[in-house]
Amino acid sequence: MGRLGFSTTESTRLLLLSVFGVLVLSVVLAEQEGENLSGLSTNPDKAIFAVRENGTTCLMVEFAVRFLVPYDVLALNGIDLITEQAPFTLPRGAEIEGKCGSTESEIHITWKNNAYTLRIYFSTEFRDKGTEVWKISKVQFVYDTSETSHFINAYNPGKHTASTHRLSALVTPAGHSYVCAAQQTLTLISSDHQKGVTISMYDIQIQPFDIASDFIFSEPYKCITDQRERLEETLPLILGFILGLIIVITLTIYHFHLKLTAVQPQLPRDRSMYKNM
Amino acid sequence: MAHLIRHKLSNKLTNAAHTVSNKSQAKVSGVFARLGFQAATDEEGLGFAECDDLDYDYRQGMQMDVLPGEDEGPPAEGEGEMDGDSHYQRDGTGPRPSSLKTGGSLDEDKPKITTWEAGWNVTNAIQGMFVLGLPYAILHGGYLGLFLIIFAAVVCCYTGKILIACLYEENEDGILVRVRDSYVDIANACCAPRFPALGGHVVNVAQIIELVMTCILYVVVSGNLMVNSFPGFPVSQKAWSVVATAALLPCAFLKNLKAVSKFSFLCTLAHFVINVLVIAYCLSRAREWAWEKVKFYIDVKKFPISIGIIVFSYTSQIFLPSLEGNMQRPSEFHCMMDWTHISACVLKGLFALVAYLTWADATKEVITDNLPSTIRAVVNLFLVAKALLSYPLPFFAAVEVLEKSLFQDGGRALFPDCYGPSGQLKSWGLGLRVALVVFTLLMAVFVPHFALLMGLTGSLTGAGLCFLLPSLFHLKLQWRNLLWHHVFFDVAIFVIGGICAISGFIHSVEGLIEAYRYNIHD
């Protein structure tokens, strides 16, 4: 039966070859590259990152991010530990990696030689009434407190990871990009004694799925705060218009009231009334 | 023959003596006139007052016959002339309490206000929104702040009285006659020989600026208070200002001071409720009062602003000439001034001291920020009501000033009279008043940092109209009647007022520059 089947060594070799081939294929097919387009942004704090696949953009992220990371510092007495806060922003010159999918996407932003990594995970889901939405499902932030430009005299320096638990943020209907000028804040729990890391994003425009054309966002979906601001801005104009109407109506009513109740000048009927003229 | 010659000689001698004394008096008067002092009494003014009385009686006699429904009743045909004559004779005796320089409008038909109503108006003017900043002033000034509250009340009461004294002149019988009607007339009389209209124009401009800025401030404050009371609503401060202006539109229909006095009375009630609420809350925390924290020294950087708040909150002099002219019993004016200023001083001092003792170092710039949220909501609502009810008085005064200076019949001013022959407001006159209300709204919405701007103009026009000008006019017009301590007071008030004005001006300009720079960097 040697002629009918392959020998075990040959089958393993074939298996290895096929696996290797699949891997090569997948690498060739995936071809996802991260692009840093922050030079296009007008705001010096705002960064623009894109993940491209097969020659077209599949994930675009445009925001300005501020981090507030607490870390421990040894006090002057040498015994107590004080918690200091390190504020810093996401630099424009960061490296991008990302993965796009139909239901899940992610983007990894690293800077300072992998001392800091920000990973944002997006996913889609179906809400009741059959509408499809996408949202941020997880955010992970890796930071190294031995990095001296932001962390000064950290106690026990080392790498820590802060991540979210069951997050559902920036919920947007499918096929739209999320736009928000106001500040959105997320709090992540760090592996460093459960400290809270605050990430604030503003001037956001994000789209992780269904990008129609290269580097162009789909239809924007405004966040609630921006919608409210627009209402706040138009309300004085509407009220002013109503006030103007009230004024015009009042003046015309008064004018006609005067006309109707005007005293007629009396013509003198007697010489004794001439002095009244 | 001899006694004829003696008669002639004695006449000549007496004439010569008279001419000599007249010449010397003329020389002295001339010296004074060159120095700028009006040595002679305003006999010219007295004469005009009497002419005006006659003129007024003549016209009143005529118009009494034309108008139906007057008190004297429509006269029968034949008796028309007699009634007119009897008016002429009956009312011609005695000096009139108010001279009539404005012929067209029938001032006598406007109802007179009682002393109480004049008191409410003055209280509306001197117990304004700035009372909320007084505990902060005590924080930085300590006992000096308290002393200033009392001192400013005394000084402003005195300047109010001397301003009204400038309206009167003594005639030959020694009776005081009201020869001038308004602040503008006083200013014109002071600059009389060389610049007959300059003083009036300056005072007009200062008055209009001060009154319109006060109106705008009330709109800004009510918008701000509403925004802070309802932070959950998507209504911004501009939207609330428009709503407040819609509520204030009926002010355009105000005809006389009696209606304004009703609003001032309600405003005083609202202010009283606010005072009672805050003081009661502070008394409930009396155990925690920090008596030892009231300072004897002052914080030199922050106190000058507080000086401005304390001193310029007693500014009511703009309203006094027209208030006094419309009172039924002008003799009670001094009594009314005393009582309103005493009550304002006591209430303000008590409020400031008690509120400061309760929160000591934590006292905020506006005391309502310190209150717990339930009381703060109620106090905010009453403050909004107070701001809206305070608006009619400066608005009515501004309308009066504008109408007297710009809208007079007979070519005396640029535009024709706003009132028709029967005293009714013409529709374009109403349109102008509504335009003034809308103007205050537009300024409230579009001018940034309005409070700082108000501090700037207040320190110039407020100090000028309340301290500098009354003392100056009093010195000039009543120079002959003043005793040495009156002169000393007037000069002292002039100097102190000048210092307050300059310091207020410098600090307001600094504040404005800093706010502008902060805005640009933001």
Is residue B88 over pLDDT 60? no
Question: Within an 8 Å CB–CB cutoff, is residue B424 touching chain A?
Answer: yes
| Separation in Å, CA B18 to CA B12, B13, B21, B23, B470 | 10, 8, 5, 8, 37
Residue B7: Cβ-neighbour burial (10 angstroms; 0-12, 13-18, 19+): exposed
- Which of A265, A237, A210 has the alpha carbon at shortest distance from A59? A210
Question: Does residue B206 surpass a pLDDT of 60?
Answer: yes
Say if the Cβ atoms of B242 and A275 lie within 8 Å: no
User: How large is the average pLDDT for residues B327-332?
Assistant: 90
- State mean pLDDT over A25-40: 66
Q: DSSP for B348-377?
A: HHHHHHHHHHHHGGG--SSGGGTS-HHHHH
Q: For residue B239, how many other CB atoms are within 10 A of its CB? A: 25
Mean pLDDT of all residues in A182-195? 87
The predicted structure's pLDDT at residue B56: 61
Residue given tokens 């016959």 in the structure block: B65
B234–A228: do the CB atoms touch at under 8 Å?
Answer: yes
- CA-nearest of B336, B396, B347, B386 to B119 is B336
A61-65, B9-13, B414-418, B422-426, range with the lowest pLDDT: B9-13
Of A250, A272, A276, Cβ closest to residue B62? A276
The pTM for the full model equals 0.70
Over 80: is that where the pLDDT of B443 sits? yes
Question: Which residues of A have a CB under 8 Å from any CB of B?
Answer: 228, 231-233, 235-236, 239-240, 242-243, 246-247, 250-251, 254-255, 258, 263, 266, 270, 272-273, 275-276
Angle of helix B134-141 versus helix B333-359 axis, rounded to 10? 70
- Residues of B with CB below 8 A from A227's CB? none
Residue B13 included in any domain:
no
Q: Do A243 and B424 touch (CB under 8 A)?
A: no
pLDDT band at B341 (very low <50, low <70, confident <90, very high): very high
Domain ranges of chain A: 32-221
Reply yes or no on domain A32-221 having CATH 2.10.109.10: no
How sure is the predictor about A38, in pLDDT bands with cuts at 50, 70 and 90?
confident
CA closest to B427 among chain A residues: A255
According to DSSP, the β-strands at A177-180 and A220-222 are parallel
- CB atoms A247 and B66 under 8 Å: no
Q: How confident is the model at residue B87 (pLDDT cuts 50, 70, 90)?
A: very low
Query: Percent of chain B beyond pLDDT 90?
Result: 29
Query: Is the pLDDT reported for residue A135 higher than 90?
Result: no
The pLDDT assigned to B245 comes to 93
CA distance A264 to chain B (A): 11
Contact B243 A272 (CB under 8 A): no
B410, two tokens: 């007979």
Is B95 a residue whose pLDDT tops 60? no
The CATH number that applies at residue B390 is 1.20.1740
Q: Label residue B158 by pLDDT band (50, 70, 90).
A: very high
Question: What is the structure's pLDDT at B70?
Answer: 40
Residues of A in contact with B422 (CB under 8 A): 263
Q: What is the mean pLDDT of residues A118-122?
A: 89
- Residue range of the domain that includes B459: 115-420+445-518
Distance between CA atoms of residues B214 and B220, nearest Å: 10
Residue A42 has pLDDT above 60, yes or no: yes
pLDDT of residue B62: 59
Mean pLDDT of B244-248: 93
Judged against a pLDDT cut of 80, whether residue B264 lies above it is answered with yes
Residue B91 has pLDDT above 50, yes or no: no
Cα distance between residue B42 and residue B478, in whole Å: 10
The amino acid present at A91, given as its one-letter code, is P
pLDDT band at A195 (very low <50, low <70, confident <90, very high): confident
Residue B98, pLDDT > 50, answer no
Average pLDDT over residues B279-297: 82
pLDDT-derived band at B89, boundaries 50, 70, 90: very low
Return the minimum-mean-pLDDT range out of A114-128, B34-48, B287-301, B387-401. Answer: B34-48
Written as six digits, the tokens of B407 are 């809208």
Most confidently modeled range among A203-217, B42-56, B76-90 = A203-217
Res B42: pLDDT:
58
B80 domain residue, yes or no? no
Any A CB within 8 A of B438 CB: yes
List, in sequence order, the alpha helices (H) in A94-223: none
Name every residue whose Cβ is closer than 8 Å to that of residue B504 and which is 6 or more positions away in sequence: B304, B307, B308, B312, B455, B458, B459, B463
Question: Which chain B residues are closer than 8 Å to A248 by Cβ?
Answer: none
Q: When comparing pLDDT for A63 and B423, which is higher?
A: A63
Higher-pLDDT residue of B73, B224: B224
Position B266 scores a pLDDT of 95
Give the count of beta carbons closer than 10 Å to the beta carbon of residue B458.
27
Nearest-CB residue to B243 (from A239, A263, A266): A239
CB within 8 Å: B234 and A254: no
A239–B78 CB contact, under 8 Å? no
Contact B275, B479 (CB under 8 A): no
B466-494 per-position pLDDT tens digit: 899 999 999 988 888 888 888 999 999 99
Stated length of chain A? 277
Residue B40 lies in a domain: no
Rounded to whole angstroms, the Cα distance separating B138 from B360 reads 9
Q: Looking at residue A87, what DSSP letter applies?
A: E
Q: Tally the domains of chain B.
A: 1
The DSSP result for B155-167, as a single string, is HHHHHHHHHHHTT
- Contact list in B for residue A271 (CB cut-off 8 A) is none
Q: How confident is the model at residue A88 (pLDDT cuts 50, 70, 90)?
A: confident
Chain B residue with the nearest C-alpha to that of A241 = B242
> A with B: how many residue pairs have Cβ under 8 Å apart?
63
Q: What is the pLDDT of residue B50?
A: 67
Which range of B69-78, B111-120, B456-465 scores highest in mean pLDDT? It is B111-120
- CA–CA separation, B267 and B271 (whole Å): 6
CA atoms within 13 A on the CB side of A179: 10
* Within a domain: B79: no
Taking contacts as CB-CB distances below 8 angstroms, the residues of chain B near A275 are 62, 81, 84
What residues form DSSP beta bridges with A187?
Answer: A198
pLDDT at B293 over 80: no
Which amino acid is located at A99 in the chain?
K
What does the pLDDT average to over B168-194? 85
Condensed to tens digits (0 to 9), the pLDDT of residues B12-45 reads 666 665 555 555 555 554 554 554 444 445 566 6
Gap from A142 CA to chain B (nearest CA, Å): 32
Q: What is the mean pLDDT of residues A184-211?
A: 87
**B 13-52 residues inside an 8 A Cβ radius of A:** none
Q: Is B355 domain-assigned?
A: yes
B238 close to A (CB below 8 A):
yes
How far from chain centre, in Å, is Cα B105? 22
In this prediction, residue B9 has a pLDDT band, given cuts at 50, 70 and 90, of low
User: In chain B, which residue's Cα lies nearest the Cα of A257?
Assistant: B427
Tell me if A235 and B236 make a contact (CB, 8 A cut-off).
yes
The lowest-confidence range among A99-103, A186-190, B2-6, B468-472 is B2-6
What is the CB neighbour count within 10 angstroms for residue A258? 15
With a cut of 90, say whether residue B383 has pLDDT above it. Answer: yes
* Residue B294: per-residue pLDDT: 75
